[in-house]
Amino acid sequence: MPSKIVARRSAIHGTGVFATAPIAKGERIIEYRGQRRTHDDVDNGDEGSADSGHTFLFTLNDEYVIDGNRKGNVARWINHSCSPNCDSIIEEADGGDRTKDRVFIEAKKAIKAGEELTYNYGITLGEPHTARMKKIWACLCGSKNCTGTMLQPKRKPAPKPKPKPKAAPKSRSKAASKQGTRATTGRGRGTGARKRA
């Protein structure tokens, strides 16, 4: 991939990444690189502290995180936006080696030369989203759709299945009716960046 980007001072936050030439919608721009680390390794260190508001960690899969601060590249400087012009795409490798999964940044729409690249970090925290945490993870993107925080909304728990109704007493004159209940359950996991430039 020939480089069409450069890192420089950003009006959004600190250092940002900017297009040096037009980038087409759907174009793969850069791979997010860095050392693969286990979630336990990251959780035992202070790099992933929710109180820091600053991390170059990108959740790769259920086992590993990419640490862009270790052997990373310019992709770590791409800023968050609530109205991003890029997407982060996780490409799963064939086989069982999860360290070979990769993350690419692709253009969500056409990007002009000089425009800053952004994507939604998709930051999820297991702890409550207090006013303090929202301030620590404040979003500065300035878009008209800005939520004010890089934290993703908490997912509502899946509804509990409704108990089956008790059978109606049998009657000689009427046939018993059956009532069916359908319970919907769902679960998912966030697969976004855990990064702040």
The residue written with tokens 């049998």 in the block is 170
Domain CATH for 109: 2.170.270.10
CA 129 to chain centre: 16
Per-residue pLDDT at 45 exceeds 80: no
What secondary structure does DSSP assign to 12-36, as a single string? SSSEEEEESS-B-TT-EEEEE--EE
Give the domain extent around 23: 5-155+187-195
DSSP H helix total and E strand total for the chain: 2, 11
Asked if residue 179 belongs to a domain, the reply is no
Segment 150-176 shows an average pLDDT of 57
Best-predicted range by mean pLDDT (10-24, 117-131, 152-166): 10-24
Asked if residue 101 belongs to a domain, the reply is yes
pLDDT tens for each residue of 96-143: 899 999 999 999 999 999 999 999 998 887 788 888 988 888 999 999
Which sign, positive or negative, has the C-alpha torsion 54, 60, 63, 69? negative
Total number of domains constituting the chain? 1
Buried b (16+ CB within 10 A) or exposed e, 64-88: bbbbbeeebebbbbbbbbbebbbeb
pLDDT tens for each residue of 47-69: 656 666 667 889 999 999 999 99
1 or 122, higher pLDDT: 122
Asked if residue 113 belongs to a domain, the reply is yes
What pTM value is reported for the model?
0.75
Asked if residue 163 belongs to a domain, the reply is no
Asked if residue 182 belongs to a domain, the reply is no
